[in-house]
Amino acid sequence: MARDNERNQERGAPQRRQFFRRRKSCPFSGEGAMKIDHKDAKTLFKFVSERGKMIPSRISAVSTKKQRELAIAIKRARYLAIMPYVND
Amino acid sequence: MKLYETVFIVRQDATPNQVETLAQDYTKIIRDNSGDVAKTEFCGLRSLAYPIKKNTKGHYVLMNIKAAPEVVKEVERQMKLNENVLRYLTIKVEVHDPNPSPLMQQKNFNPDRNRGYDDDQDDLLPTAMENA
């Protein structure tokens, strides 16, 4: 359906349809944002995959600065056995 | 004098009393050296994410410390010598958090139940990467 619509549009006037997605803001920046804490397993688990690997910031929309902090927090949590190094 | 936050894990066979005595010992060392312990939290027996020295569980203790670096070094040395202490981690902090730590609130947190950092982009997670 959507594909048909697109084709029709193109036939009428050559129009480039771009994939538009609103840029999500960093979950750790701004007011009322989450705190990065190496003891807070619940928050940290949102930023690792099921395997226990960290999720890249381009997917989770964490800012570069906060991603660095987050990485340190996750590594500390792993050392303290709050989070797994490998989850299988 | 600087502010530190120490978490240490005591092996599972230790009794809660032993854990408390241990924490008191460390508190004493700090107090004797003109430092102070703002808060001590016994987070109880938590299951470890992976076994450490054949322990699957451990007693977590959190201490908010105000002391000179040398004193912290001494406490860490004591922890290293004690076989009951599986792990310890001391970090320097700007401010102490007087509220109960997340360790206290979420005992044996199960990650499988709270999956997903955000709802709508979950499908974008490359599954190929997971298997790599």
Q: Map out the domains of chain B with their CATH numbers.
A: 2-95 (3.30.70.60)
Looking at residue A49, its pLDDT comes to: 92
Task: For B130, name the nearest residue in chain A, comparing CA atoms only.
Answer: A51
Closest Cα of chain B to A78: distance in Å?
Answer: 8
* pLDDT per position as a tens digit, A26-68: 888 887 888 888 988 888 999 999 999 999 999 888 999 999 9
Looking at residue A71, its pLDDT comes to: 94
Q: Where are the domains of chain A?
A: 24-88
Which of B106, B118, B124 has its CB closest to that of A42? B106
Which tokens hold the place of B46? Answer: 């938590």
Q: Which residue has the tokens 């808060």?
A: B39
* Buried residues in B102-127 as b, exposed as e (16+ CB within 10 A): bbeebeebebeeeeebeeeeeeebee
CATH 3.40.640.10 fits A24-88, yes or no: no
Q: CB of B95 within 8 A of CB of B48?
A: no
Residue B130 pLDDT level (bands cut at 50, 70, 90): very low
Specify the range with the lowest mean pLDDT, choosing from A29-38, B61-70, B120-129. B120-129
Chain A residues with CB under 8 Å of B50 CB are 81, 84-85
Return the DSSP state at B13: T
What pTM value is reported for the model? 0.74
Please state, in angstroms and rounded to a whole number, the distance separating the CA atoms of residues B113 and B16: 29
Which of B58, B89, B118 has its CB closest to that of A76? B89
DSSP-assigned states of every residue in A31-81: TTPPPP-TT-HHHHGGGB-TTSPBPPHHHH---HHHHHHHHHHHHHHHHTT
Chain B residues with CB under 8 Å of A76 CB are 89, 91
